[in-house]
Amino acid sequence: MINKILLLIVIAIGSFINSSAQETDHRIAIIIHGGAGTILKSNLSPEMEQRYRDTITLALMAGYNVLRNHGSSLDAVEAAINVMEDSPLFNAGKGAVFTHEGTNELDASIMNGKTLSAGAVAAVKHIKNPISLARMVMERSKHVMLTGDGAEAFAQQQGMQLVPQSYFYTERRWQELQRAKAEERNDSLKNSVPKDSMIEKHGTVGCVALDLNGNLAAGTSTGGLTNKRFGRIGDSPIIGAGTYADNRSCAASATGDGEYFIRVGVTRDVAAMVEYGRMNLQQAADSAMAKVNALGGTGGVVVLNTKGQMAISFNTEGMYRAYIDENGKPVVLIYK
């Protein structure tokens, strides 16, 4: 009888050790981005550059600490993006750009690499953290994407408090709208086609993460384009264009000229090249961005797989990006 008890104890201890080993067999990893575009060192004062670096680090560590404490990759993605949405520095949440009509319309999406479940919201005007509402759509509804008034009605139904449009106002973004409109008027007087303004074209924020259970997640959030019209929606809330995650291939989040990223289906394209084409992450990311570039689009993409391998690809002068290195230290990069 004693021998049987001892045997059961040994089996139990062995099972515990084995399960613990399996649980920690995966390397946690996280990458975030805060947009890509004409980001030159000469255009950023030392003080402003430090503000960006500090906020990016704060967002990165918010997600990384979730992962270190055995949280899910979805929790990490949401936590990291929430920090950037709450900052006026990025074109998401608080720092969202203005539409032609002088309003703020926000988009976001999130995806679970284990189940391929996804949620997205588009053209919402009173949601402080669109990425959190996108997750609610994924987990608490039978739909993938909700837009405008319907998305906000769902948010209220779920107990989310709406914020007034004034919450999103920043003088910096307002002045960007005025400059964009002035450019548009000048082009009209010259009888030329209005050119794309380089004013905050790519301020989208995003995150990809890998948790201790080996599950991937990706999320993206944006305020869109300065001076956008007619309820324009870009790639950020579109699964397969701005966001994608599949444990069988990778997780990816993109930022850039949404119209081109939608046509290429950038994030799904990256995942497909990894899964079917047997490309490594960097090859797949570079290939997808080459297709965007060939169409005349600009931007970037961050990619992560279940082995903790990473890739970042962009065709602009800079891209706000950060990750945790193999020693657990944050690496924050801005310029090309």
Chunk the chain into consecutive blocks of 10 residues (it has 336) and report each block's average pLDDT, rounded to whole numbers: 45 42 67 92 92 98 98 98 97 97 98 98 98 98 98 98 98 96 80 47 87 98 96 97 98 97 98 96 98 97 98 96 96 95
**8 Å CB contact between 30 and 64:** yes
Sign of CA dihedral 291, 295, 296, 301: negative
- Model pTM score: 0.90
**Which pLDDT value is given to residue 18?**
42
pLDDT of residue 192: 53
pLDDT for position 197: 43
- For 6-43, the pLDDT digits (tens) are 444 434 444 443 444 344 457 999 999 999 988 888 88
Query: What is the pLDDT at residue 202?
Result: 58
Q: Name the active-site residue from 99, 204, 243, 298.
A: 204
Q: How confident is the model at residue 191, as a pLDDT?
A: 55
Total number of residues shown for the chain: 336
pLDDT, tens only, 259-314: 999 999 999 999 999 999 999 999 999 999 999 999 999 999 999 999 999 999 99
Q: What is the 3-state secondary structure (H, E, C) of 177-207?
A: HHHHHHHHHHHHHCCCCCCCCCCCCCCCEEE
In eight-state DSSP terms, residue 38 is: S
Quick one: pLDDT at residue 316? 95
Is residue 204 annotated as part of the catalytic site, yes or no?
yes
Domains of the chain: 28-335 (3.60.20.30)
219: helix, strand or coil: strand
Q: What's the pLDDT at 196?
A: 45
User: pLDDT value at position 5?
Assistant: 44
Angstrom distance (rounded) from CA 30 to CA 209: 4
pLDDT at 6: 42
Of the candidates 246, 249, 307, 321, the one whose C-alpha atom is nearest the C-alpha of residue 278 is 249
DSSP character at residue 239: B
Cα(140)–Cα(170) distance, integer angstroms: 32
Instruction: Select from 290, 310, 293 the least CA-distant residue to 302.
Output: 310
**In terms of Cα–Cα distance, which of 112, 122, 117 is closest to 154?**
122
Q: Give the whole-angstrom CA distance, residue 225 versus residue 198.
A: 10
**Which pLDDT belongs to residue 9?**
41
Name 49's Cβ contacts closer than 8 Å, sequence gap at least 6: 41, 334
pLDDT given at position 93: 98
175-180: long-range contacts, CB 8 A cutoff, minimum separation 24: 176/97, 176/98, 176/200, 176/226, 177/97, 177/98, 177/100, 177/102, 177/226, 177/227, 180/226, 180/227
DSSP type of residue 71? -
